[in-house]
Each structure stands twice: as structure tokens, then as C-alpha cells.
Structure 1
Amino acid sequence: MLKAAGLDVTEERAYRLLVRSPGAHAAELAAELSVPVDSAHAALRSLHAKGLARPLDEDRFAPVAPDIAIGPVLLREQEGLDQARQAVDQLTGEYLSHARRHDPGQVVEVLPSRSALRQQLRLLQDNARHEVVYFCRAGHVAMPSEENAEEPAALRRGVRYRVIYERALLEQPGMPASLAHGIGLGEQARAVPELPVRMAIADGELGVLPLVQHVNAGAEPTAALVRRGSLLDALTALFESQWERATPLAITESGEVATSGCPLDSDSLSLLSLLVAGVPDKSIATQLQVSHRTVQRRITQLMEQAGARTRTQLAWHAARENWL
């Protein structure tokens, strides 16, 4: 366990014995370790040289406190590992940058079977750090929504999910309950009449989508694993354009999924009406009797809820969805 601190097995055992029995003789250590006395002497001298033990006399040593003796060594090791990781990340970026120019397989990898597609969808979500976006069409190619155990786990660890559902999918048996569960955990869900493709993208860095949208019964689907590049940027832009047009979904008091005519509470509606009317933030804060910072924070939350990047987009979305 202390290999990272530069100790071999015999040295670690000797140090542990010293911690339990400070001042033990080399002969006592040899008996405890089941090694020759010369080996025990060598281990103690090595511990002394590494700053983990101090001599009391010719045959006896006392341990140096672990946090003093080992802590700085491990800190240096950690710093070295961090620097190595940064170097690996930089080299990986350079490698992919050059490799993608000469080998399209570095950008797009073909997944030849349903099992490969399922595995990649699971890995994509397990490794997501910030956000997963989905196009969910009616029917399923890899796995039904209720079998996607990775999404609840990712939501619980703070990964944001934005999912657009095809309306026909919402009518399939068991789908409303599955969707309500996801929304209850924090999924942001919207619906459109029809989606052009199925796909999932994690962190804007990795995407998965079937290459054939309609697979005959018994046939294996073929999918593409798309890494960061212009193609993935185009797929991300496609998602964002559909997200802006999609209708938000919410859970009713009875636990059913329904289109949300206006998901805002009265306070948010008051703020939004003042914002759309062109009232400055400071004046809004005065009228609502809250701080300027609170107004800015709530406007940011409204923009996130509407999927808007600017206040103009927020106003446009509010008008389109009849929030005001």
C-alpha cells in the first residue's frame, strides 16, 4: 500500500512494526517479519535513509510520524501525476488533431451491432460530466427508455439532461410513467411532432446516432460514434434548433405528463413581463423589492428554462409559448 512512497514490501512491514512497537530491536523485527536479521538491519537502514526512521542506538530505531515522513512524498507524487495527466491531455489533443486530418475513422467509428450500440450509449452517459442531449424517436433501436438506468444515475450526480421526444413516442405503453420519473429527477423534456434522427450527444464531445433510421425486424442496426469535430458541431446545432422549436413538457398534479402552457410561477411572470416591457434590471429589482443580483440570477434561470442564450431569445420564446 505504501509503494507510492517508495517502500518495498519488507520496508513497509518493518515500518508498520516500528509504528506499533517503537524502539524494537532488529532481531525482534526479523522474528516478526520472518526474515534474516541482516535483512531486518537492511530494511531499518533503508527506512532511515528515506527519512521514515531515526536511530536510537546501533540496533534500535524509532519511526518518524507518517504524516511528516510520507505525506510530502505522496504530495510530490500527486503533483507529478497531475503534470503527467496534463501532458497526456495535451498530447492526445495534438494526436487527434493530426490523426483526424488523415484518417476519417478517428472522427467517425462504425458500431456494427445492437449490442455495440447499447454499450456505447451506456458508456456515453456513464462518462458524461456536464450535459447529455437526446433525440428520442418513436420505437427503439437499442433499448427502451425504461431500461436506461444510466440516466437516473447521471442526473443524481449532477449531469444535465435535455431530451426532445417525438409525440408518437409519448403515446407508447409505459412511456408516460418513465418520462414522469425522469422529469421528477430533473430531466428537461420537450416534444415535437417529428424528429429527423435518433441521437445522443454528451458534453459536446461525443455523439451516437443510428445510420439507418428504420431497421427491419431481426436485422442489426448500424450506428456511428462521432467524436469532436465539424460533424458533431453540426449535430449539436441541429439539436439546439429543434430545442428552440420544441414544446416543454411537465408533470401534472396527478402525475401525468402534459404540455406546459406556462411553467412559470407568479413571481417569475411578473419579472418576465417587466423585462419584456424594457424595464431596466435595477428598476425591476426596486419594483419586486429584491436585490439587483437576484433579478439577474432569476433572469438567467428563465433563460435556461427557455433554452435561450440571450434575453431577446427569452422574450421570443415567451411570446411563442404564450407565457405572457
Structure 2
Amino acid sequence: MLEAVGVSEFEERVYRALLSLADSSAADLADTLREPARKIGPALAHLEELGLVRRVNGRRHAPVSPEAAIGMLINQRRAELDEAHGAAAEFVDAFRLRNLRHHPAHPVEVVSGPDEVRRVSRTMQHNPATSVLSFDKPPYATPPAGYDEVAAERPLLERGVEMRVIYDGAALELPGRLANVTELIRLGEKARTLPTLPLKLYVYDRRLAIVPLSGRHVSEAIAVIHPSALLDALIALFEAYWVQATPIVAVRAHAADGLDPQEATVLAMLGAGLTDQAIARQLGVSLRTARRRITAVMDLVHASTRFQAGMAAAHRGWI
């Protein structure tokens, strides 16, 4: 009965005998159980190690309360099983990634459940060898404010992974997001933007793609797509949108040209297509103040439209 917690059948007999006897020696138990004393000693030692038995007066033994002792063993075994379950999940991820890369059996694998989705997504994100193509579109499983995307992407960019990202207009309107994107551009990311995107998409090494299956709850389920006509179509969709998208550039402020860092930020936001309201939120100012600063920047580059402001900045070498 206690084999599940590491107690052998014979050791259980010894423990049961102790429960019905006064403090006993190995010799007493050998007489009671009609077993050789040489078998009793090791059994008592293991029961003592497990916490089921305690020594009394040196050579005698007494049972520990079963409620406490067996409960402790059960909890230890549960902890070991939980640890094994966690290790199994890592092995499953490795096995899944291997099969998806080398032995795909089906065009699409559906992964469901927040924990599984996070594990698979994290595995994919950390393993691209050559390239990542992405449609970046809210909502997010982890809000950008709680996720350091610069720290996450930096190692990939530093080892030469090509990262091309098209940002949905709503993604760039999130507070502080454009600053992060600008820093990623400085690190080597190629970024563009469109007012709206049809879906969230991640393509790794042009061999695997992830598409969330729920628009509102992105961590509920994803489709993992491996080499197939469907993957080719998704890559073609990305390339078609890339051609139409507007490049996002990191504006360089040059004191000699009269462009201070805040004006550079406004110019970058104009180039990214942010609305006046979104620029106000990014700057943390009122809409009236934001419009005043927008007008000042456009006057500085002698532009009457946002497009002209971007062209003038490019001509002057600010972007």
C-alpha cells in the first residue's frame, strides 16, 4: 500500500508491527514477525530515513505518527512529480520543434492553452537562425509595458538575424512603444507601418509560422504552420504588405540644424503616421500642446504635409 511513497512491502510489515507494539528492538520485531534479524535492521534504517520511525534509547524504535509522516512523504512525492511534469513539458517542446523543423506530418499544428502557447511561442522566438518576419498588431498576450522587447530582440539582432516588422498603427500609439521601436531600428530592425493589418503573424527562417487563432485572447490557441503552400501564402502576404507599408526611421537630432531631441521625436512620429491624439499621448501632453509642437516641427522643415516633413527630414540627413 505504501510502495507509492517508497516503502517496500516488507518495510510496511515492520512499520505495522511497530504500530501495535511498545518501543521495540530489531530482535523484538524479528520474533514478532518471525523473520531473520538481518532483514529487520535494514528495514528499520530505511523507515527511519523516510521519517516513519524514530530511535528510542539508542537501540529501540518507535513509530512516528502516520498522519504526519505519511503525509510528508506524499507531499514530497507530489513535488517530485510536479518537477518531472515540468521537465516533460520542456521535452515535449523540444520534440515538437524537432518534428516541425525536420519531419512535419501535417501542414498545421494547433496548440491550445495559455501555458502551452507561451512555451511554444517562447521556444520559437529564441531559436530563429536567419530571419523573422512579423505583423505586430494588438492585443498582446503580454502588454508591451510589461515586456522588454528591446532586451528580447537585441541578442537576435546582434547575431545577425534579419528582423522585418510591420506595425499596425494601433501598436505605435501605445505609450512608449515608438521609443522602443526606434531603439530597435537603431539596433538593426527594419520596421514599417500600416494603418491596419489583417492578423498577427510571426514567420521564423521562412520555415515556420505562428498565427494566433483568437483575435481577443491571443494566448488561448495558435496555429503553427510548417513548410507548405499555406506557409508560402503567408510569406507572400507579408511581402505584399511590406511593399505598401511606410518605413519607420530613427530620426537623428543635429544641434547644428536646430533640431532638438523632442522635435526629432515628433518628426519620427509624424513619419510613422501617428495621429495628433496619439502623438499627444506619446509626449504626455495635451492635444493642443501636441499640435503646437507638430506645427513648429513642420515649419522648421518648411513642410505643409506630414509626407513633406518626412521627405524634408530625409533630404537633410536627419533620417
TM-score, normalised to structure 2's length? Answer: 0.46
Higher relative contact order (Cα pairs below 8 Å, separated by 6+ residues): 2
TM-score, normalised to structure 1's length? Answer: 0.45
